[in-house]
Amino acid sequence: MDIEQLMTVLEERAITGNDRKRVELLLAAINDWPTPVESLNDFLSKLKSSLNAEEITIEVVTDRVADMTPGFDAWKMESLSSLLELLNMSGIASLNQIIANYQSLQYGKGR
């Protein structure tokens, strides 16, 4: 799913409450990433490469942020801060699963 499709799902499906907040946090993380992101899979791939991990979990993100320097990694740290908030509120162990869930919205009811 590309980013515009996720934004359309957010607008057209009238997602509300915590579900809306989670999508907004993911979009904020994507927006703050220091390089252009084309799709959810692209974002996940960039995170895996940058964080040197296959599963993007709270522990992985927290450990990597601790090693970053604000002057050099400010945008990445901002993006990861949104991801931490998303992971903490979602109750799902990894961003990999969250993204898989959002990609299923593309094919779900109302499309």
pLDDT given for residue 111 in this prediction: 36
Q: How many CA atoms lie within 13 A of 38 on its CB side?
A: 3
Roughly what angle, to the nearest 10 degrees, separates helices 3-12 and 95-105?
60
DSSP 93: S
Domain spans in the chain, listed from the N-terminal domain onward: 3-105
Whole-number pLDDT of residue 106: 58
For tokens 């961003």, the residue is 95
pTM value > 0.85: yes
Could you read off the pLDDT tens digit of each residue along the chain, which spans 111 residues?
A: 889 888 887 887 767 788 889 989 999 999 999 999 999 999 999 999 999 999 999 999 999 999 999 999 999 999 999 999 999 999 888 999 999 888 776 545 443
Single-letter amino acid code for the residue at 51: L
Instruction: Enumerate residues 6+ apart whose C-beta is below 8 A from 44.
Output: 56, 95, 96, 99
